[in-house]
Amino acid sequence: MKDAADVAEEVTNSKPLEVVARAGFAVSGLLHFLIGLVAIRLAMGGQGQADVSGAVEELAGQPAGPLLLWTSFAACVALAIWQASDAIFDFEHLPTKKKVGKKLKAGLQAVVYTGFALTLASVATGAHADHRQSTSDLTINLMKAPGGVALLIVIGAAVAVTGIVYAIRGFRKSFIKYLRMPSQKQARTAVTVVGVVGYAAKGFALLLVGLLIIIATVKAHPEESTGLDGSLKALREQPFGVYLLAAVGVGLICYGIFMALRAKLAKM
């Protein structure tokens, strides 16, 4: 059993997998970049779906769309495997509290990139469903289940807190410790600026999603829980909402650029 675990750890930490896994960061960057563009389009009165599903649909509509979708799928699968490997095999030398935190974070990242991969595959195979409707249906089913209301409030609070954590991480520049920063001062400054703005914008967007889940649950209107796209469109309807939405769009574009840079600079 131990020999099998050692082989698995060696394979998942191999250089070829690392190269493909790094591309997973770039795919995440591209998706966030596209979400940011859609958010700005919405702020200007246009149409679009400002979430991962919408970004993947935008990607599919480009020349060589199927090739882009399947290569992006492979990159996300590789990064999900890499993060899962970290969650299972790494951080053993750390104190228990820190080890559990690191493993949990890596495990959650593996889930996120698995979700990206599944969305890419569903669009590539033509099996994609309406994400907003799926989110509403999930909320309705949870609300009907025993303890479902409490669970939804906990989920909403967790998403909102994650958003706050992202924003704090950006303002504190704590993301820098996970990067091998370039030697040139101008390049370091550029990476830091797009990181701060990007993390702050992503944090604000997640905070909106979490609050919308909580509000929809408390008001017993599960159809209002429509994920990131619904949260950003709800923001557009508020006073000065179009300006806030445009700012979030710019920030998500910055986050996309940061993630593309992370593909090269990340400490794996």
pLDDT of residue 96: 80
Q: What is the pLDDT, as a whole number, of residue 230?
A: 79
pLDDT at 186: 93
What is the tens place of the pLDDT at every residue in 91-112?
777 788 888 888 888 888 999 9
In terms of Cα–Cα distance, which of 127, 187, 196 is closest to 167? 196
Pair of tokens at residue 99:
């080890």
| pLDDT at 240 (0 to 100) | 84
Q: What is the pLDDT of residue 60?
A: 87
Q: Which stretches in the chain have pLDDT values below 70?
A: 1-13, 127-145, 148, 220-226
CA distance linking residue 156 with residue 34, whole number of Å: 25
How far, in Å, CA of 152 to CA of 157, rounded?
Answer: 8
pTM: 0.85
pLDDT on residue 241 = 82
Cα(166)–Cα(205) distance, integer angstroms? 10
